[in-house]
Amino acid sequence: MRIGLLNGGGDCPGLNAVTHGVVGSATKLGWEVLGFKNGFEGLLEQGDYKVLRVEKTEGILKQGGTILGSSNRGHFSSKIGAGGLRRIPEEYMQEAFTTLRDLEVDALICVGGDGSLTTALQFYEEGFPIVGVPKTIDNDLGATAMTFGFDSAIQVVAESLDRLHTTAESHSRIMVLEVMGRHAGWIALYGGIGGGASSILIPEIPFCHERVAEAILQREEHGFHSSLVVVAEGAVEVGGGLVVEDAGTGGEFRLGGIGDQVAGKLSQLTGKETRCTRLGHLQRGGSPTCLDRVLGMRFGVKAVNLIEEKRFGRMVSYQQYHVGSVTIEDAVRKLNLVDPEGEVVAAAKAIGICFGD
């Protein structure tokens, strides 16, 4: 048995842990693993790959990034505009299938988010044996309770807020931290709670600047002269729209700048000195946390199990502390969004965190 492995979409802490799990478990079965470089692009032009053996992957569990590279642009991009999808052109699909046939690859594992898994679904629909592994630091795939990379990302947010707290307190400032989260506010929510933010603005709850300013001034009256505000990049003001940094010429547009807007408005409304920090790709870099290492490894092992059982067209899924699987079609159908009326938001509000609503 010879299987292929590739990573699609953005990089993410824990990708190497998945590779470690795939190679280790496949080797136990006597299988060979080909790692395709730079996502689906590695399937073109007779294939860009390397043979993955245990001796080459033994120490990668703790490494951030990916030894295979990844790509969220190119011939196999299935995302266009604001969440739109497109079919991959048949010529590229056939070239990829030819590569896989020539290399005698029996099945393929795709590690990626909703865009990459949508491409994987097209491979399956056209008859190629494939299984998926969910990957997104945003934790926004509806068919799994958690994805690897999320815990690492929120740890970075919490640590950043710890550092911003000291300078905010020293100068009695408002510090705004812009974090990732295009459609879902999980990073802002968990990172903000863990880092002691007084206000958290997320895509699922349209906010009002005046309400946030009012909460900050109330803190001032109680002797708290500094405040931390976490803003997800996809957060929107009531009646407003997304703040876009770069519309781009293909794929999804790049969000960014909402933090600066919030900082400017809060400074006007409160009269307090305000600064904004955008974490950007710092959230996706560095070594994965222990939780993400273990979860990524378990996902990799489960993907090999699915191939062994010939359960193709499925994605590894984590529910109630158990790693199982769902169909890829179900996995990409619905995003996992924060429930504005849910227990986590309610708990945050109960301790005085403002969501601007």
What's the pLDDT at 80? 45
pLDDT at 297: 96
DSSP alpha helices (H): ranges in the chain?
15-28, 54-57, 90-102, 114-125, 150-171, 186-194, 209-221, 258-270, 290-308, 328-331, 343-350
Q: Which residues, 6+ apart, have CB-to-CB distance to 88 below 8 Å?
A: 75, 76, 78, 119, 122
**pLDDT of amino acid 85:** 64
Q: Are strands 130-134 and 107-112 parallel, antiparallel or unpaired?
A: parallel
- Equal CATH topology for 2-148+288-331 and 151-285: yes
pLDDT of residue 81: 44
- Domain ranges in the chain are 2-148+288-331, 151-285
Which pTM was predicted? 0.90
Active site residues: 138
Amino acid at 245: E
Q: What is the pLDDT of residue 248?
A: 56
42 within 8 A of 48, measured Cβ to Cβ:
yes
| CA atoms of 168 and 286, how far apart (whole Å) | 26
| pLDDT digit string (tens) for the chain, length 357 residues | 999 999 988 888 999 999 999 999 999 999 999 999 999 999 998 889 999 999 988 889 899 889 998 877 777 766 544 455 667 888 999 999 999 999 999 999 999 988 889 999 999 999 999 999 999 899 988 889 999 999 999 999 999 999 999 999 899 999 999 999 988 999 999 999 999 999 999 999 999 999 999 999 999 999 999 999 999 999 999 988 888 876 555 556 678 789 999 999 999 999 999 999 999 889 888 999 999 999 999 999 999 999 999 999 999 999 989 999 999 998 888 889 999 999 999 999 999 999 999
Neighbours of 264 (CB within 10 A): 14
* 233-243 b/e (C-beta count within 10 Å ≥ 16 → b): bbbbbeeeebb
Tell me which fold the domain 2-148+288-331 belongs to. Answer: Rossmann fold (3.40.50)
Fold adopted by 151-285: Rossmann fold (3.40.50)
**Res 82: pLDDT:** 46
